[in-house]
Structure 1
Amino acid sequence: MDFGEMVRALRRGWWMPALGLLLGGLAAAAITLMTTAVYTSHTQLFVSTTDSSSTAEVFQGNQFAEKRIASYAELLTSQELAARVVADLGLDLTPGELVSRIDAAPVSGTVVLDVGVTDPSPEQAQRIARTVADEFVTAVEELETPAGALTSPVKVTVFGAADLPGSPSAPQPVLNLAVGLVIGVGVGAATAVVRARLDRSVKDPDEVADLAGAPIIGVVLRDDALEDDHRIDPQSSGRSAEAYRHLQTNLQFLDVDTPPRVLMVSSAMPSEGKTTVAVNLALSLADAGKRVALIEADLRRPRVISYLGLVDGAGLTNVLTGQAQVEEVEQPYGKDGALVVVGAGPTAPNPAQLLASGAMRALLEELRAGHDYVILDAPPLLPVADATGLAVLVDGVLLSVRHGNTTKEQVQRTRATLDRVGARTIGAVLNIVPVRDDISSAYGYDREYAAQPASSAG
């Protein structure tokens, strides 16, 4: 996944970082509220040597102290020293619990030790820090005094007296919130990128064209009205109507010398909008002055007649079985009669055989002679074999690919299915694209260009 793909993934999944930001902030606030406030008292200890009467001895003494300083830091957090402090103050703590509250570290390049003691009570933290310093001075004197000597060559001085903390050292609400927000955004962004990486559905027009082996000749945005009614008003200036006008225009110029006139509209799987594409493509072509025949060739789940509000009854199966002529079952749609519709007719027990039959070939030739375009709404190609045999009888196949639903593998298998029988895929329609998707702005579909009065036009 390159940088551009990551950016697109974050744009499409923008709500994940936003949700992560919210959850991270809430988690930080909850942790802050549930954490007991503690205070830290600080003190500093200076380590030196006592037998330093000359400059050389002072230098050697400092080197000696620097080498010992790490050991002294360990001594400050030892169980033995903690036990002495517990005994001195009568604390209700074990030496191990007290050790966990003491932090000691040498200041780099110096002979100074920083000591911090944490406790829920600021006064108690100060008392413990003061006692730790006193006990440490005594312990060093005991450890460093040679046998038979009265004084220790090492001297520890309390350089900074234990302070009384005025504010809690933890929790830190601002820091916690900042960390929570950063982690939340990071996790959300990572989730969006990983989700896009694992998502096998197609969303990019160029990718669809590459997988299908045919150009994208139409992009249709999601339209609630179209999902309910399934048909456009060809005279409308809305996005959906304009999208289908683009589709019918692109279709007419696919091959100027031998334009495809008998078209099968299909998809890889059900629920990818193929019937809606077939119906509205036919309406757009008829509105452009073309004579169009729309055939309901999906004999298993016919939808065209119901979408157009026509009468269900005799139809394609009657014609293919020799029970009727096409003129007897076709129904005109619209005022000018430019569009005629042939319904599926009664349910057939052998739809695949009927659609690939010689009778179907003869019917298509008959309709070709009397119409500029013949549009067939065919079954999906992968679940059933009905459309595969029909695909070789038409001039070309138009695939409806549903944005974010159809997978890459399904498009590839559909292409392979059509290639095996020698069918021609003339183009694809990327269907039901979210209005907020990048494709919308890239194709200019995020703006309407309705007519305005002459005085305000420009």
Structure 2
Amino acid sequence: MGYLRVLRLHWVSIVSLCVAGALTAAIYILFAQPTYESRTKLFVSVQNSNNVSELQQGNTFTQARVQSYIETVGTPLVLQPVIDSLALTATPAQLSRMVNASTKNNTVIITVTAKDESPVQAAAIAQSVAESLINAVDQLETPQTGESPVRLSVVSPATAPEFASNPNRSLVLALGLLTGLSAGLAVAFLRTTLDTRVRNDRDVARITDSAILGGVAYDADAEKKPLITQVGAQSSRAESFRQIRTNLKFAVVSATSKTMLVTSSLPGEGKSTTACNMAIAMAEAGNRVALVDADLRRPMVANYLGLEGSAGLTTALIGSATLSDLMQPWGQNELMVLTSGEIPPNPSELLGSEDMTMLLLELEKEFDVIIIDAPPLIPVTDAAVLGQRVGGVVLVAGSEKIRTQDLEKSISALEFVNAHLLGIVLNLLPTKGPDAYSYGYYSYESKPVSRKNQQGHAGSKALSGSHLETRRRGRRQEASFDDISTEASSNNALRT
């Protein structure tokens, strides 16, 4: 856990609690009853000391007696005369809590301190207590015949203080800020400890050793413009998918199949838009790509690409039409799309059937790359069923959308069926804050391709077999997914 990251992530809470602590201290200062302290000092001495030896003995005697005089200050013998002279309503016991006497070691000076809500009254009490103590000591130390050997003298008269001793404004404010800061830091680290949301690649690395294929930053316009062809060619989103395309080149080196499955743990993590944009990016690199919408519960590919969705995968699986008749071209590159078709009552059974296996084998004969958009792993078993029939799985993880336990559960589900996890795509990464994701790209932006050109023949419901074959022959290129150009590899560094 990075301390700076925690501070940056929860700085608002920390600052808020600091301000709250300071405000609480200010309110306390504003409404607290001020208390004033006044002090007077008395010097204790021995009378009739004629030589040095007597002075030394007298000094030792007075130091021994000073503690007794301090204890005498809190007795009615000293305090009752003060109450009478100042006409106080307090009892001696109550007044004793307002008066304090002390001395320093090896000295004969007694300091009398009095507290009161009035500075003048505090000074009057301190002075009166000192005078009463002088009288009390004189009375206690005077023998039946003769004169008291001890004399107390006021060396520092009591004066009315200008400022209140309590509350101490600076101290109270400092304590308020310190308390607020401590509470803010405690809350920040507690929230970070309890927060199990996946935010960045470091969170993923703590869960799995699987490769991070790339990251896609959150874009507020993505809901209206989900495709990379709808934004500038050099936009950060387009660059992110070109980077994912390049990293996938290394991830599929050991794959035995051209087919890859794109799924997520939960709905709302962006797996359908990721599948569409991966297909577009790979087609732009010269690959013959087939995009299959196998999310037979909430199909979205047809909506994103503007294609006919009523006839597609389910139509082919039940034998109502041939695959070549159902594939729809999209855009100016070698991208063919097989939409979901009608939503069936038994998606898992259809996707796990032998007909689905034969369909994938047929697609692999004609295309360099087959990308399948599958349902999320946790709510249903469709993706796990398909994971056994493909060369690899790309798992999309939505930043702050998914928790670590859900990602762990998804990876475990893939491992249970022996699916090959190619890597993880981090989606919806924040653009601000400690987990901000950024990708350097050229400052200019290309014009988005018009929707009319994107869709190509989207208006037609089916593409005849002869038309499909003619287009394949005319547009066939030597490059395949395993032979992506060196230029693409050099321009898009492998992100780990």
User: TM-score, with normalisation over the residues of structure 2?
Assistant: 0.80
- Match runs of 1:261-276 below 5 Å: 261-276=258-273
Q: 1:51: Cα distance to partner?
A: 6.9
Deviation at 1:227, TM superposition (A): 4.0
Q: Tell me how far 1:104 sits from its aligned partner.
A: 3.9
- 1:17–1:48 distance in 2 versus 1, CA, 3 Å: farther
Residue in 2 aligned with 1:308? 305
Amino acid at match of 1:396: G
Residue number in structure 1 paired with 2:359? 363
Query: 1:364, CA displacement in angstroms?
Result: 1.6
Question: CA 1:451–1:277 in 2, change beyond 3 Å: closer, same or farther?
Answer: same
Contact 2:309–2:342 (CA<8 Å) still a contact in 1?
no
1:259-279: per-residue Cα shift (whole Å, max 9, x none)? 863221122222222223222
| 1:253/1:259 contact within 8 Å kept | no
Distance across 2 between alignment mates of 1:209 and 1:37: 58
Aligned pair 1:317/2:314, yes or no? Answer: yes
- The answer on whether the counterparts of 1:211 and 1:415 sit within 8 Å (CA) in structure 2 is no
The CA distance in 1 between the partners of 2:307 and 2:210, in whole Å, is 33
Match of 1:333 in 2: 330
8 Å contact from structure 1 (residues 201, 406) kept in 2: yes
Aligned-pair Cα RMSD in Å: 2.9
Amino acid at match of 1:115: V
Q: How far, CA to CA, are the matches of 1:96 and 1:22 in structure 2?
A: 41
Alignment of 1:193-204 (within 5 A): 193-204=189-200
The equivalent residue for 2:418 is 422
Q: Which amino acid counterpart does residue 126 of structure 1 have in structure 2? A: A
Give the match for residue 485 of structure 2: none
In the other structure, the counterpart of 1:372 is: 368
Name the structure 1 match of 2:443.
Answer: 450
Identify the match of residue 277 of structure 1 among 274, 298, 305: 274
Partner of 2:484: none
Offset from partner CA, 1:109-167 (integer Å, 9 cap, x none): 53333333232322112111212222233344455x37746555554332311122122
Contact kept in structure 2, 1:329 and 1:342, CA below 8 Å: yes
Count of residue pairs brought into register by the alignment: 444
For residues 164-196 of structure 1, give each alpha carbon's deviation from its aligned partner in whole angstroms, at most 9, with x where no partner exists. Answer: 212233334343333322322222122111211
Alpha-carbon distance in 2 for matches of 1:65, 1:344: 105
Q: Which of 135, 144, 153 is the matching residue for 1:138?
A: 135
- Is the 1:212–1:411 contact (alpha carbons within 8 Å) kept by the matching residues of 2? no
Q: What amino acid maps onto 2:114 in structure 1? A: V
What is aligned with 1:455? none
Alignment pair present for 1:33 and 2:26: no
Matching of residues 27-426 of structure 1 within 5 Å: 27-50=24-47, 55=52, 58-59=55-56, 61-63=58-60, 65-66=62-63, 69=66, 72-77=69-74, 81-143=78-140, 145=141, 148=144, 151-232=147-228, 233=230, 235-256=232-253, 258=255, 261-334=258-331, 336-426=332-422
What does residue 452 of structure 2 align with? none
What is the letter of the counterpart of residue 344 of structure 1?
A: S
C-alpha distance 421-258 of structure 1, shift in aligned 2 (>3 A)? closer
Give the gaps of 5 or more residues in structure 1: 453-458
Structure 1 pair 428–131 and aligned structure 2 pair: CA distance change class (3 A): same
Amino acid at match of 2:315: N
User: Is there any run of 5+ residues in structure 2 with no aligned partner, and where?
Assistant: 446-496
* Cα distance change, pair 50–203 in 1 and its aligned pair in 2 (3 A): farther
Give, as a single letter, the amino acid of the residue that structure 2 aligns with 1:360.
M
Q: Which 10-residue stretch deviates more, 310-319 or 376-385? A: 310-319
Whether contact under 8 Å (1:402, 1:432) holds in the other structure is: yes
Distance in 1 between the 2:77 and 2:359 partners?
Answer: 101
Mapped contact 1:77–1:99 kept (Cα < 8 A)? yes
Aligned-partner Cα distance in 2 for 1:326–1:79: 109
Supply the distance in 2 between the matched residues of 1:148 and 1:116 (Cα, whole angstroms): 32
| 2:43–2:108 Cα contact (<8 Å) kept | yes
Q: Aligned-pair distance for 1:68?
A: 5.2
Could you say if the C-alpha distance between residues 146 and 93 of structure 1 is closer, same or farther in structure 2, counting changes exceeding 3 Å? closer
Question: Quick one: percent identity of the two aligned structures?
Answer: 37
1: CA distance, partners of 2:290 / 2:385: 20
Whether contact under 8 Å (1:234, 1:283) holds in the other structure is no
Q: Shift in Å at residue 63 of structure 1?
A: 4.7
Distance 2:101 2:237 in 1: 71
Q: Encode CA deviations 1:277-321: one digit per residue, 9 max, x unaligned.
A: 222222222233322222222222222222333333122222222
Shift, 1:218, TM fit: 0.9
> What is the TM-score of this pair, normalised by structure 1?
0.86
Alignment partners' CA distance in 1, 2:3 and 2:76: 53
One-letter code aligned to 1:387 = A
**Comparing 197-206 and 60-69, the one that deviates more:** 60-69
Q: CA deviation at 1:420?
A: 1.2
Q: SS in structure 1 opposite 2:251?
A: coil
Shift of residue 208, structure 1, vs aligned partner: 0.8
Question: How far apart in 1 are the matches of 2:145 and 2:276?
Answer: 108
The structural deviation recorded for 1:239 is 2.4
Is the contact made by 2:255 and 2:391 (CA closer than 8 Å) also made in structure 1? no
